[in-house]
Amino acid sequence: MVPHFTRALLVTGLLAAGSAFTSAKAQAPGNYTYQLITTIESVVPGGLGRSKVSFTPAYKGIKDAPMENLFSLTGLNLANLQRNEDTIVAFTQQMAGDGYELVQALPLTSSIQGSGIFMTRYIFRKAK
């Protein structure tokens, strides 16, 4: 015999699963326009790296925009970090204002012998 509490959880779970299936069906990928933003932040010592924001497809005619390197000759540059955060927030707010919603953010890193990059991919979508 299944206790009442367990049956209630099972029924709730089945209803939620059915609702999620219906919701996923209504929100099929073909019903959206997608926009990908990739931030690339260099961690090359001495500020010799390159950092940027890339848009796929181009967003309002912009394919990429510069960002600051995280390191300068003296080490981690907190002012550059703040400017990069301001840049990311500004683009995210602009996308939201244009009707896009952030679906997922994927952090990525790459490092080779003491230098490397931090990448984050932001996937946005907007109903067609």
Residues 35/91/110/49 CA torsion (nearest 10 deg):
130
3 — pLDDT class (breaks 50, 70, 90): very low
Say which residue, 55 or 2, is predicted with more confidence.
55
pLDDT at 28: 65
How many residues are there in the chain? 128
The residue extents of the domains of the chain are: 30-127
Q: What are the pLDDT digits (tens) for 40-90?
A: 988 776 666 789 999 999 999 999 999 998 888 888 889 999 999 999 999
Average pLDDT, whole number, for the chain? Answer: 79
Of all residues in the chain, what percent are helix, strand and coil, respectively (each to 5)?
Answer: 40, 45, 20
Residues 126/61/36/77 CA torsion (nearest 10 deg):
-130
